[in-house]
Structure 1
Amino acid sequence: MLKFSFSFPGKVILFGEHAVVYGEAAVASAISRRMFASGKIYPSNKSFVNVTFEDKVISYDPFDNVHKDNRTTYYMIRSAFDGLVPKNYQLDINIIQDFPTGGLGSSASLCACMAAIASKISNGNLSHDFIFQRTKELEKFYHGNPSGIDPATVVYGGGIKMENRTLKQVKLPEVPLLIVGTNRERNTKAAVSHVKDLLTQYPKVFKPLIKSMGDITNSFLESKDSDKKQVMHDLFYPAHCLLSSFGLSCHESEDIVKIAVNNALSAKISGAGMGGIMLVTGPDVEKKASLFSKYNVVAASIGAEGMREEPINFE
């Protein structure tokens, strides 16, 4: 029997969303909220893989080529453990996450968990570079041709800068923030297409705005660690206004911004926009979470640790 336990953080885009598509700089950060995956592989009278989530279970015989589940996650998991579960062995995995699904990198965190477990029960290679590459491959089940920024952020932790499709690790201090859900489901594909249309139709108007988004990212990253908390507060609102100028805001997003500004805080869209999540920062932000009580609020901090092998404390 082999037992295992891993955790990976969620992630947020701090600055540069959408602009990164056009070669400008963006930065993502691992957050202190995590996904945990624990379990064991052991001899059994049958061959089986069981992955238990809080709201669903995925089970299959790894030697049965008939696929009885059409969910993307099922195919990702089958790919992760293809050829790794021996005959008459059972693999049990339990997944728990303390952050909501949608906009916080949960698919990358899940792929990273599967990649780490697959490596643990096979070749034992738990280097960050190896797990990142495997995670990026598995995330293709969800995002086709992912940029790699989400897998890099959850595996390496801290911050990841992306510019011209090149990824670079950056050190970020732990700065508290609130992640506020707008209760409006985001549509990434529609948002990306909308931005592209505006840039095509009105390049003289919107290309400078894309450049400004990248400039904001670089201004944040070039600031001293001791200043980053204040710089985040200073730059969240202008970054939000730039995204809003592309029509990426919504009534709920603007309401969250208004509440923030009226209480000495600063807020911005994070991710695709047109719904999804907002980030809120500023003085004593953790103590002001109740101001956003009509929305889904998660308190977290940026600059969190990436892949972590956890103590095994289960039977």
Structure 2
Amino acid sequence: MERKSSSPMAPTFMVSAPGKVIVFGEHAAVYDKPAIAAAISLRSYLLVTTLSKSQRTVKLNFRDIGLDHTWKIDTLPWEVFQQPTKKKFYYSLVDSLDPELLEAIKPHAEAISKDLPEKQRKIHIRSATAFLYLFLSLSSPESPGFIYTLRSTIPIGAGLGSSASVCVCLSAALLLQIRTLAGPHPDQPPEEAETQIERINRWAFVGELCTHGDPSGIDNTVSASGKAVVYQRNGANAPTVTPLTKFPKLPLLLIDTQHARSTATQVDKVRGLRTNHEQLTESILNGIGQLTASALQLITSPGFDSQDGISRTLDHLGTLIRINHGFLVSLGVSHPRLERIRELVDYTDIGWTKLTGAGGGGCAITLFKPDVLEETVQELERDLTAEGFRIYETVLGADGVGVLWPAVFRTEGEGSEEIDQEKFENAPGAKGIEELVGVGVQENREGWKFWTRYI
């Protein structure tokens, strides 16, 4: 008799994590001043398909960057990762990479995308390194086969935390697969949710170490926990990252200049200005620090997260955003494209605008004033698009990491819709992804569940 083929061991499921923007404090944060970063509703989505027992392969399919590679599970360097002195457990507080483990992964990561241009191949190798390090740390040689398919609505290389969002997705998916996460569910005790968010965050940081070498930890923390965080360096000591659990959801316009920028170049520019004009530059950096502290005081004030409280204080918050941009212009880190965005937005009077991130290109954010007319926003978007800018209507203070288990949406009166591999891979662009599986601007898509920190 023919042997019956074995069936998958677990249902297909999906995890999702947001990108981020710096709302206050960029550049000053380098000099031990506070910065506030918040999650946005542009997100990465990771679909996890479990294969049958007989299929001993693991496939990584990052569709949006053209990465598609399959490894045989039995050929991966488990013996190095399983050594008693090297073995890490899901609850381990890992804050650095093990050189021996990295070396063991190297030939497996470098075997990919050999026919691609070197620049693109390097991106693929970094992604594969992060994935393999996490997979080998959190799985076992007896692991069944999987397909990990990633799609994202976050612009890549624009300072919006896209790689951290991917690492949070991978971390959450792998921890779910080894059943070390419970929930999220409405009755989840606060301390349990807190522990699980931190567990996801810690392993996501390990992925970021593989991708960036020396990440600050701010991007993965915002992506894992959602809402917003305060980040502050403490000289030679480890920086502090404090969640702002009361940060409200606010409508936001994100505008991508489509002009590439280098964070290192902009940081060096400010460093040079500080060397040549120390007193003046220090006063600007102190000013940024003071307005960030003022924004923090406002955000944490009683009742701020209520609809009434936001309406009363939105003008104050917007003014601080405008002043912050002025300080950054004084430091020389803006760009003609960023200033053109501000000019067009100011002309419509729909809100307050600043660059976000390192500057020199990248993105700008506009916080909307209350009661803005939809037709005014649409007219502005047409003008911006005509000049080559890319527009995203998003939510500031979005939810953090979430899970859709199983990957099925139940629609009222119409049964259910299963999100399979083919549908997900072929969803056309960011809009198609949003329509198929998106949390996005809706932020309340039925079926998605999110880990949330206790307020």
Return the TM-score normalized by structure 2: 0.66
Q: What's the counterpart of residue 236 of structure 1?
A: 321
Q: CA deviation at 1:132?
A: 0.7
Question: 1:175 aligned to 230, 233, 250, which one?
Answer: 250
**Closer, same or farther in 2 for the Cα pair 1:64/1:231, shift >3 Å?**
farther
Structure 1 Cα separation of the partners of residues 394 and 174 of structure 2: 29
Q: Which residue of 2 aligns with 1:61?
A: 72
Judge conservation of contact 1:47–1:86 (CA < 8 Å) in 2: no
Matched, 1:151 2:223: no
- Does residue 122 (structure 1) correspond to residue 122 (structure 2)? The answer is no
Contact 1:62 1:78 in 2 (8 A): no
**Contact 2:129/2:211 (<8 A) preserved:** no
TM-superposed deviation, 1:245: 1.2
Residue 215 of structure 1 aligns with which residue? 290
Match of 1:137 in 2: 206
Deviation at 1:289, TM superposition (A): 3.0
8 Å CA contact 2:17–2:402 kept in 1: the answer is yes
The one of 323, 327, 331 equivalent to 1:246 is: 331
Please list the CA deviations of residues 99-131 of structure 1 after superposition, one character each: whole Å capped at 9, or x if unmatched: 322221110000001111111122523610101
Alpha carbons of structure 1 residues 53 and 202: separation in structure 2 relative to 1, 3 Å: same
Which residue in the other structure is 1:268 paired with?
354
Distance 1:181 1:105 in 2: 14
Any conservation in 2 of the 1:175–1:229 contact (CA below 8 Å)?
no
Structure 1 residue aligned with 2:88? none
Q: Does 1:290 align with 2:382?
A: yes
Counterpart-to-counterpart distance in 2, 1:64 and 1:254? 53
RMSD: 1.9
Displacement of 1:215 in angstroms is 1.3
Report % sequence identity.
Answer: 26
Which one of the candidate residues 19, 24, 27 is aligned to 1:15? 24
Change in Cα spacing, 1:88 to 1:209, as seen in structure 2 (3 Å) is: closer
Instruction: Kindly provide the amino acid, as one letter, of the partner of residue 57 in structure 2.
Output: F
- C-alpha distance in 2, partners of 1:60/1:193? 41
| Distance in 1, Cα, partners of 2:313 & 2:18 | 21
- The 10-residue stretch of structure 1 (301-310 or 60-69) with the greater mean CA deviation from structure 2: 60-69
Matched, 1:28 2:32: no
Residue 219 of structure 1 deviates from its aligned partner by 1.4
Aligned to 2:149: 94
Letter in 2 for 1:2: A
| 2:95 aligned residue | none
State whether structure 2 residue 262 is matched by structure 1 residue 187: yes
Change (3 A) 1:231 1:52: farther
The answer (yes or no) to whether the contact 2:135–2:174 under 8 Å persists in 1 is: yes
- Indicate conservation of the 8 Å contact 2:253/2:368, yes or no: no
Question: Greater share of strand residues, 1 or 2?
Answer: 1
Aligned length: 315
Q: Which runs of 5+ in 2 are unaligned?
A: 1-8, 77-106, 113-121, 183-195, 234-238, 305-309, 409-418, 421-455
Match of 1:166 in 2: 240
CA distance in 2, matches of 1:277, 1:218: 23
| Contact kept in structure 2, 1:15 and 1:27, CA below 8 Å | yes
CA 1:6–1:230 in structure 2 vs 1: closer, same or farther (change >3 Å)? same
Residue 74 of structure 1: CA displacement? 0.9
Cα distance in 1, alignment partners of residues 315 and 404 from structure 2: 33
Task: Name the CA shift for 1:128/1:147 in 2 (closer, same or farther; >3 Å).
Answer: same
Instruction: Letter of the 2:10 partner, please give it.
Output: L
What is the CA distance between 1:201 and its match in structure 2? 2.2
Tell me the residue number matched to 2:398: 304
Deviation readout 1:225-246 (Å, 9 max, x if unpaired)? 2245323321222111111111
Aligned equivalents of 1:201, 1:185: Cα separation in 2: 27
Which has more radius of gyration?
A: 2
* TM-score, structure 1 as length reference: 0.93
What are the Cα deviations for residues 6-65 of structure 1, in whole angstroms up to 9, with x where unaligned? 111111110101111111010000112221112122334342221222332233224435
